[in-house]
Each structure stands twice: as structure tokens, then as C-alpha cells.
Structure 1
Amino acid sequence: MVIGSLCICFYVGTYIRPLTIPLYFGSALFGLGLGALWTVQGYFITVNSLPKDVLRNTGIFLALYQSSLTSASLFYFLMVRGSLSITWETRIVVFSSLLAISFVGVIAFSLVVHPWTGKIPLGPETIISERREQPSVGSDHTRGSRSPDEHPKTAETHRRPWSAFLSTVKFIWTRNILMLTPYFIYIGFEQSMWSNIYPTALGYTVRFGILREAMVGLNGLFVGLGEILGGVFLGLMGTRLNAFGKDGALLGGLVVHLLACYMAFINTPVSASRGMTEYPAFVGPRYPNVSTRI
């Protein structure tokens, strides 16, 4: 978690003075760091939860996690509100503040206590193969050197990093993961939509007037509020969802997400994600001279 959060800190720092090569390199590090961070955070939630509480704890985590999006987006909105472009002084204040807060998060992660105690057991298939390779207790090789009670302890051992990596690669090609692959691709497109494409389209829509840069922060604020409400709902309804299944919650989330995408489609010009445009959307801003109504 510390290494992943440091990669994210580097990505935030590249925006203080944006240059092409550092931005691309920082984006690659951001993807690696965020992937590692989310994986380990999910592991921490799992090992510190009972089966009946895992949905509730996940909802609480998501609500706390997305609170940073709302606060940072509100801060950005207040800093750039009424400006047609981001000045050098505003950039320094905004991204230096975010970078400092990110380092506080790194320190917090470094203080987290490991949830595991003792040795990590291997998978069942590894245990069976190891036991087959072990000589029998009554053979000449082991007679007098190992008791029957000691044999099961050989199943408890540390998994080395390379072994864990190979096991993960093999796990990717299992039937369940292959069936979930379209879902993972969908999540990737969804993250790109709300974190990159839609905010860019808002910032490039000239009809928003001098509010167009601030709309980027306002979008992040409402996205964060929506995800917090979703996390709170998941936490409050976790027990019932475990009892009646998760299909209803997943289908409900899918309907809400499709509705949000449709509203974004009709409220922004088609070419806004590719550059500055004055073309109207299907349902554009009601007041083109919105600068007079701040």
C-alpha cells in the first residue's frame, strides 16, 4: 500500500508543472500503483471481516474512500470558479495541497498493522501435491525422525513472491475469471468515463461560460457524493443483500449508471471531449451567457 500510494503521489506531482514525458510516465505509475493499492485494500477488508459483515465493511470503506473525491473536487471548484483558465499560482496551490495530503495518506498506510499472524497456507492443490511428494511416516527415511502429528504442519508455509505471481497468472485463465473479464473491461471504461472523458467534455464546452473550468470540480463533487451514498446504502443493506442475493443491487446499479451516461450524452456536445467547442448539446445550458448568473 505504501509503494502504490507513492506512485499516486508522483502522478499528482506531475501536474504542478505538466510536461509530456513525466505525465505519460506518471500515468503508467498511477495505473500500477492504484491497481496494487486497491488489491491490498480489498485483502485487508476481507481478512478483517466476517462473511456476514464483508458487504457492510466494504460499503463503509467506499464511503470513506470517496469522501476524498468530494473534498478535493470542492476545493478545486472554489479555486477555479470564475476563471477561464488555470493560472500558474492556482495550479501551484491546488496540486501542492493535494500532494501534501497524499503524503499524509502514505504515512497513514505505513502505520497499518498487518492483519495476518503466523504462516500463510498454500492452496489445496499445492498441499495435496506436497503431501504426495513427502515420504510416508512409516518409511525408512522418516522412521524415528517425524511423528504423525507433525506431518500436517508441512501444509503451512510461506508463499514466495514468485510463486504467488505464477499462481495469480494461472488464476487469470480459470473459467470464473474469464467469465468476469467483460465485467472488468466495463469497469475500466466506466472509470475512464467519469474521471477523464466527461470532465474533459465539461471543460471544453464554451457554452458554460466562465464556469466551464469549475464544472470539472463540480462534476467530481457530485460523482463522489453519489459513490458515498452508494457505499452507505451498501453498508446499511449488507445483511439483507446477503440474505436475498446481490442480483437486485447489481441490476439497480446498472440501471442508474446507464441513466447517468444517457444524461451526460444529451447534456454535452458530441465533439467536446476532443477539444474546445461552441456547438450546442441536445439539452445544452439554459443560459448561454451563464457568466452573468454566478
Structure 2
Amino acid sequence: MGPDGKKLLNIVILGFGFMFMFTAFQTCGNIEQTVIKSFNSTEFHGSGYTSMAIIYGVFSASNLMAPSVVTLIGPQVSMFLSGILYSGYIAMFIHPLTWSFYTASVLVGVAAAVLWTAQGNVLAINSTDRSIGRNSGIFWSLLQFSLFFGNLYIYCAWHGHVHITDKDRRTVFISLTVISLVGCFLFFLIRKPDPESSSGSEATESLLQTESGDGSTDRISVTKEMLLLSASIGYTGLELTFYSGVYGTCIGAMTRFGSDAKSLIGISGICIGLGEIIGKVKDLHSFSYYSWKLEI
């Protein structure tokens, strides 16, 4: 297999690793508040909404140190260790405790920053200026399949269930934990590309080597482009919060849907996933078309 083939294979493996991990984690986030409301225990006082707020708050702050961590231990190990923390968060629902729930939320926030920084590094060093659009499309298409498969499982597992029993909860979260761990171990199949590689890798490596204390982050954050981009990022965050945690919970709580309410959480997630996948397939088609036009 040639160098380009190896890089493309790395992108596909990266996509499948994230697909398995986020099949588990996004499904967990979609159903956790519904599960918590059905959990019959006077000792557990956690909230799925509070957990998500902790995760994304810590995620935001941890992005300042994530490049240093990835530089120190490498992107492959970074993704694996981050994935283990994601799996630990999901496994916590097998036997929930308030202290472990919120502790795991903090750890996943840190893990998320490291995971996505490492993912960007792997994507960049396995891409060139011409292939970065294609590779990004392939990666994100595979990632969005996680919404489809995870929520399809929830629909099948909870169809006709009015109340989520302890047995239902344990079965779902043991399965999701195993799926997440499969994704973690897939990262070890990624091979370092040949030295002559990619034009995009130098920029990424210099970015990862930048220490947060040198003031570069502060200088970039107040530029016109970043301030304008922050508005769209903030809006996207609100949308993500709504569809990933609030919308599904609202569907599961609607008495009008009767015994189908809990399984319809899965249907809503499947529809979101299909929309994401179709959008990425269209991006890939557009990339292929414009690449062809440039060649002629």
C-alpha cells in the first residue's frame, strides 16, 4: 500500500474509532436525564443537565492545556486514554452514585479537550492541502453514523417500555461501555505516516508545541475574525445542547406518546443522525466535483 493509501486508511480507522466511541457517548447523553428520572434511589441526586454543563465548561477551560498534553504523550495514546475516561463515564450509569457521576463529568471534560486536539493532529498529519477536505468529510460522515446506530439500539431496546427498570438501565449501559471500549482500542491500529508526508503537519505540530502561557491564545482570541466566529460558535453550542440533551428528554417525558415515548427518543436521534450523514455526503460530493474542475 502506498503512502496515500496508508493515510486514507488511517483516516478511516480514526473515523470508525470515533464512531464506536460516540455511538456510546452521544447515546448516553441523549438518554441520561430520562434514565436518571427513572432511577429509583434516594441516595442519588444527580442531574443530567448539570453533568453536561460541567462537561462542556471543563472542556472549554481544558483546551488551553490540551496541546501540551498531546505533544507530551502523542496523539494515539492521548486518544486512547481520553476514550477510557469516556468509557468510565458511561460505565458509571451501571451503578450510579452522585459523587462518581460528577467526578466522571469533570474527567470527561478534560478528556474531551485532549481527544479532539489529538484528533485534529491525526487528521492533519494524514492529509495534504488537496486531501484535507475529503478526509474531513470521510471522518465526519463516519462519526455521525454514531447517532444512527446508537439511537436505533435505544429504539429497539426500549420499545413499549413506559418505565426504565434497573435491568433495562444496566443492560443498555453495559452494552454502551463495551462499544466505547472497542472504539478506544481501534486507535492503536493507526500507523504513523511516512516521513515525506503532509504539508499540513508542520502547521499542526507548531500549533501543538505552542505553550498557552506565551500570550498567543490571548492575541488570537481578540482578533476580528475570532470575535465574529465566536458568535456562530456560541449559537452552535446552544443548538448542540438542545438536540443532544434536552429534546430527547422532552420526547421521553410526553405522556401523549404513551408507551412509545421512551423509544421515540431513539427515533429523534436517528433522524438527527441521518441529517448529519446526508450533509457530509453532500460535502464529499462537492469536494470531488471541485477537485475534478481544478484538474481540468
* TM-score grouping bracket, smaller chain normalisation: 0.5 to 0.7
* CA shift in 2, pair 1:170/1:202, >3 Å: same
* CA shift in 2, pair 1:51/1:121, >3 Å: closer
Q: Which runs of 4+ in 1 moved over 3 A?
A: 114-118, 120-123, 157-162, 164-175, 239-244
Residue type of the alignment partner of 2:173? F
What residue is the counterpart of 2:120 in the other structure?
42
Q: Is 1:53–1:238's contact at 8 Å kept on the other side of the alignment?
A: no
**Percent identity (aligned):** 31
1:146-172 deviation digits (Å, cap 9, x = unpaired): xxxxxxxxxxx9888672664445533
1:191-225 deviation digits (Å, cap 9, x = unpaired): 11111010111011110111111111111112111
What residue is the counterpart of 1:178 in the other structure?
227
Residue type of the alignment partner of 1:78? C
1:30-77 deviation digits (Å, cap 9, x = unpaired): 333223222322232233222232222211111111112211111111
Question: What are the equivalent positions in structure 2 for 1:21-36 lying under 5 Å apart?
Answer: 21-36=99-114
What residue is the counterpart of 1:290 in the other structure?
none
Deviation at 1:113, TM superposition (A): 2.6
Residue type of the alignment partner of 1:192? T
* CA shift in 2, pair 1:205/1:160, >3 Å: closer
User: Does residue 1:72 correspond to 2:72, yes or no?
Assistant: no
What residue is the counterpart of 1:163 in the other structure?
211
Question: What are the equivalent positions in structure 2 for 1:167-246 lying under 5 Å apart?
Answer: 167-168=216-217, 170-240=219-289
User: Does residue 1:110 correspond to 2:188, yes or no?
Assistant: yes
Q: Is 1:69–1:224's contact at 8 Å kept on the other side of the alignment?
A: yes
Distance 1:121 1:206 in 2: 56
Deviation at 1:28, TM superposition (A): 2.7
Q: Is 1:52–1:239's contact at 8 Å kept on the other side of the alignment?
A: no
Bigger share in helix: 2
What residue is the counterpart of 2:139 in the other structure?
61
What residue is the counterpart of 1:129 in the other structure?
none
Deviation at 1:114, TM superposition (A): 3.7
Deviation at 1:82, TM superposition (A): 0.2
What residue is the counterpart of 1:252 in the other structure?
none
**SS of structure 2 residue aligned to 1:226:** helix
1:235-288 deviation digits (Å, cap 9, x = unpaired): 1112456899xxxxxxxxxxxxxxxxxxxxxxxxxxxxxxxxxxxxxxxxxxxx
Greater C-alpha Rg? 1
User: Does residue 1:91 correspond to 2:169, yes or no?
Assistant: yes
TM-score by length of structure 1 reads 0.63
Q: What RMSD, in angstroms, separates the aligned Cα atoms of the two structures?
A: 2.9
Distance 1:203 1:160 in 2: 42
Residue type of the alignment partner of 1:107? F
**SS of structure 2 residue aligned to 1:83:** coil
Residue type of the alignment partner of 1:238? F
Distance 1:97 1:169 in 2: 43
TM-score by length of structure 2 reads 0.62
What residue is the counterpart of 1:278 in the other structure?
none
Residue type of the alignment partner of 1:96? I
* CA shift in 2, pair 1:240/1:28, >3 Å: farther
Residue type of the alignment partner of 1:39? T
Distance 1:212 1:90 in 2: 15
Q: Is 1:83–1:213's contact at 8 Å kept on the other side of the alignment?
A: yes
Distance 1:162 1:96 in 2: 40
Residue type of the alignment partner of 1:69? L
Deviation at 1:88, TM superposition (A): 1.3
Q: Is 1:84–1:211's contact at 8 Å kept on the other side of the alignment?
A: yes
* CA shift in 2, pair 1:122/1:243, >3 Å: closer
Count of matched residue pairs: 210
1:175-206 deviation digits (Å, cap 9, x = unpaired): 43222111221221121111101011101111
Question: What are the equivalent positions in structure 2 for 1:109-148 lying under 5 Å apart?
Answer: 109-115=187-193, 117=195
For structure 2, which runs of at least 5 residues remain unmatched after alignment?
A: 1-78
Distance 1:174 1:241 in 2: 31
* CA shift in 2, pair 1:201/1:161, >3 Å: same
